[in-house]
């Protein structure tokens, strides 16, 4: 789970802001946009899950957020969690659930959060 930022960038185009310098070729604005998009996707995906799977998903989200804090700083974790809150507070469009769930499950697998 080390060096999470490059992996997230590859999966989501960009990830979140931090006090650290982003990898070469990336901008802080791009990282912010990526983390925001990732949080929105996660919020949508969790709403698409069956009720029985939601507690495990919430635990995985907390684990992911703690990784963000450790590797990218509190600003990145806040950006992700704020976007997650926004993504999970809106009425979802079920036609996009299959895609959101596929992206969610890939994120969980890629970062070993599905244990």
The verdict on residue 23 lying in a domain is yes
Q: Is the pTM of this model over 0.75?
A: no
Of 36-40, 63-67, 90-94, minimum mean pLDDT range: 90-94
Number of domains making up the chain: 1
Q: Which of 47-56, 59-68, 86-95, 104-113 has the lowest mean pLDDT?
A: 104-113
Could you give the 3-state DSSP secondary structure of residue 4? helix
Q: Is 115 part of a structural domain of the chain?
A: no
pLDDT at 7: 47
Domain that holds residue 86: 4-110
Separation of alpha carbons 39 and 66, rounded Å: 14
CA gap 7, 100 in Å, rounded: 18
Structure confidence by residue, pLDDT tens digits, 1-48: 444 444 444 444 333 334 455 566 778 888 888 889 889 888 999 999
Tokens of 85: 């809150």
> Would you list the DSSP string of 70-94?
HHH-HHHHHHHHHHHHHHHHSPP-G
């Amino acid at each position: 789970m080390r060096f999470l930022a490059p992996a997230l960038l590859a999966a989501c185009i960009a990830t979140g802001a931090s006090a650290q310098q982003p990898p070469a070729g990336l901008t802080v604005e791009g990282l912010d946009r990526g983390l925001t998009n990732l949080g929105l996707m996660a919020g949508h995906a969790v709403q698409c899950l069956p009720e029985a799977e939601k507690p495990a998903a919430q635990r995985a989200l907390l684990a992911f957020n703690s990784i963000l804090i450790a590797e990218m700083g509190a600003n990145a974790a806040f950006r992700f969690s704020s976007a997650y809150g926004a993504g999970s507070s809106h009425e979802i469009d079920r036609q996009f659930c299959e895609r959101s769930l596929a992206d969610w499950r890939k994120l969980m697998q890629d970062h070993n959060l599905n244990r």
